[in-house]
Amino acid sequence: MVKQWFKSGSPWIWMTGGAVSISLISVIGLLAMIAWKGLSFFWPSEVVELKLEGSVPKQTVIGEIYDREMVPKSRLEAAGYDLSAYQDEYIERILVKTGNREYVDLDFRWILTTDIQSQTKPEAMAVFERSKNGNFYGYVERVIEDGKEVTNAPKERLVELVERAVDLNEEALDLQNGDIGHINYELERLRLKEKKYALDNALTDEVLADLESQRAELRAEYKVLEARLFELRKKAKRDQVVVRDMRGELVTLPIYQVLDLWFPNDMGFFAKLGHFFVQSGKFISDDPREANTEGGVFPAIFGTVFMVMLMAVIVTPFGVVAAIYLHEYAAKNAVTKMIRIAVINLAGVPSIVYGVFGLGFFVYMLGGSIDQLFYPEAAPSPVFGTPGVIWSALTLAILTLPVVIVSTEEGLSRIPSSVRHGSLALGATKAETLWRIIVPMASPAIMTGLILAVARAAGEVAPLMLVGVVKMAPTLPIDGNFPFVHLDRKFMHLGFHIYDVGFQSPNVEAARPLVYATAFLLVSVIIALNITAIGIRNHLREKFRSLEH
């Protein structure tokens, strides 16, 4: 009976069905895991106070529980722990993030649950998010405002003081990056101008005097701004807070280093939800701190979006024209066949090869020539002859060209030929038919192609590593300095940010949640783009199906 069942082939059908299940589980499981790990980063986790005694000296540890795992007792005993009092084959241990990086050796530590004497969640526990050295956990003891201790409702006052310092810091930063940055930029331009005059042999005394007067003006302006900056900083440094940490010692934290403060054990669900949204918002809008392992990813989002938009502007016309040629004009001959093979191959060539090509051809050859022709004064430092956002966009434009072509062509092939014939019969030329009838009808398909291309480009990292992405870009490709759009600048990218923070950062453990959050952001954008594209395509199919009958 079993033999016959096997002979019928039915088990093999189930096996193939199993393969589908595995694929589905892995796709959905993967997405769910990224979402869970990415989003839980923003949820305020409770801070526990652990009293330890046993294999470690008696002490108190305060921190967030990060991870749990079961370890065979034998392995722990081999590592030198005395666990003879316990019968279990496995001992649980937990990973605790203790923060307070400048006061303890390790801000992450493994603790055996057997050592834990008591575990509490004190409501007074405060978490300080700081601009340096990561989080700080402890109890607020005293709040010092302008040298005097606050006695009346210190905690509420503390929150206000933190807000005040954050505002002042922000103002100082705006001043530094905005006006002062502008002056530095102008000074650099004057330097290049002078060099250019010298190269052209036109550096007369008049020109020199003019340049010098401009410089003096800028320097005077700088002096004023600098004074204001120092004043703002001094103002921000006014207050302190005294905190008792897990060693039981009092630590004075300057409030200007505190970015945010919350009491996680004292929060209700809605308070936590609010905190979650505030943290998510900060993640999207803030600049990274501490070698990218903390803070937000705003420059990476900006860089990705800007580069992808630039790429879309380049790739769309070429892709659409090529698709129109293939579908409307191309004769059935060898050239057409070769073009089709070229499209297939452009889609199949590994992305790193595009990176190599982009680096050699665009950056060194094209960029190098542009520098020689138009920026001789900047030598020896290159302007366009170095990786930058324009070269990244161009490289990715070639990479995504087949996506746009294939998608547009599919859209064109769905337009019934009766529509074309009708237009031609009424006396329109082929070009008019195309421009007035076909392209508008195919525009959703073009849109689909464009969205798919954007999704592909947003996730591509390997070629960008060669042609323009950096781990930390000091300035955005768009700013308030003339000519406002700087196509030669290097930029940050979400995908590269994941690679860099996850694999190149000094403290991978601390950075991991941030990497998950970045990954979630990138994945959700790309999946959303893809689903939109598929939606448009399906809608289009339905529409033309009805047109045919």
For residues 235 and 64, what is the distance between their CA atoms, to the nearest angstrom?
A: 33
| Token pair in block for residue 259 | 């970015």
For residues 12 and 35, what is the distance between their CA atoms, to the nearest angstrom?
A: 35
By CB under 8 A, is residue 12 in contact with another protein? yes
Looking at beta carbons only, is 72 or 480 nearer to another protein?
Answer: 72
Looking at beta carbons only, is 37 or 238 nearer to another protein?
Answer: 37
Residue span binding another protein (CB under 8 A) among the ranges 26-34, 135-143, 190-198, 476-484 = 26-34
| Token pair in block for residue 229 | 């900056």
By CB under 8 A, is residue 14 in contact with another protein? yes
Phi and psi, residue 286, nearest 5°:
-95, 160
Site string for another protein, 402-441 (x = CB under 8 A): ---x-----------------------xxxx-xx------
Asked whether the bond before 380 is cis by omega within 30 degrees of 0, the reply is yes
By CB under 8 A, is residue 160 in contact with another protein? no
By CB under 8 A, is residue 195 in contact with another protein? no
Q: Which of residues 202-231 bind another protein (CB under 8 A)?
A: none
Q: Which of residues 52-111 bind another protein (CB under 8 A)?
A: 69-70, 72, 74-75, 89-90
Q: Which residue is it, tokens 């199949």?
A: 348
For residues 321 and 339, what is the distance between their CA atoms, to the nearest angstrom?
A: 13
Residue span binding another protein (CB under 8 A) among the ranges 53-61, 93-101, 203-211, 338-346 = 338-346
Please check whether residue 155 is in contact with residue 262, taking contact to mean a CB–CB distance below 8 angstroms. no
Looking at beta carbons only, is 156 or 432 nearer to another protein?
Answer: 432
Please check whether residue 207 is in contact with residue 264, taking contact to mean a CB–CB distance below 8 angstroms. no
> Which member of 180, 183, 419, 523 binds another protein (CB under 8 A)?
523
Q: What is the CA radius of gyration of the chain?
A: 31
Residue span binding another protein (CB under 8 A) among the ranges 165-173, 278-286, 294-302, 320-328 = 320-328
Nearest distance from C-beta of residue 353 to another protein, angstroms: 5
Q: Which of residues 376-405 bind another protein (CB under 8 A)?
A: 398, 401, 405
By CB under 8 A, is residue 23 in contact with another protein? yes
How many angstroms separate the most distant Cα atoms in the chain?
Answer: 106
Residue span binding another protein (CB under 8 A) among the ranges 44-52, 143-151, 158-166, 323-331 = 323-331
Q: Which of residues 472-501 bind another protein (CB under 8 A)?
A: 495-496, 498-499
- Beta-bridged to residue 67, according to DSSP, are 95
H or E segment and range at residue 506: none
For residues 304 and 291, what is the distance between their CA atoms, to the nearest angstrom?
A: 19
Nearest distance from C-beta of residue 378 to another protein, angstroms: 18
Residue span binding another protein (CB under 8 A) among the ranges 126-134, 291-299, 353-361, 480-488 = 353-361
Looking at beta carbons only, is 71 or 267 nearer to another protein?
Answer: 71
> Which member of 127, 232, 314, 324 binds another protein (CB under 8 A)?
324
For residues 63 and 264, what is the distance between their CA atoms, to the nearest angstrom?
A: 11
Q: Which of residues 275-304 bind another protein (CB under 8 A)?
A: none
Residue span binding another protein (CB under 8 A) among the ranges 138-146, 196-204, 217-225, 523-531 = 523-531
Nearest distance from C-beta of residue 290 to another protein, angstroms: 19
Q: Which of residues 136-155 bind another protein (CB under 8 A)?
A: none
For residues 205 and 272, what is the distance between their CA atoms, to the nearest angstrom?
A: 67
Nearest distance from C-beta of residue 296 to another protein, angstroms: 19
For residues 460 and 397, what is the distance between their CA atoms, to the nearest angstrom?
A: 12
Within 13 Å of residue 412, how many CA atoms lie on the same side as its CB?
Answer: 24
What's the sign of the alpha-carbon dihedral 40, 46, 49, 52?
negative
Please check whether residue 199 is in contact with residue 377, taking contact to mean a CB–CB distance below 8 angstroms. yes
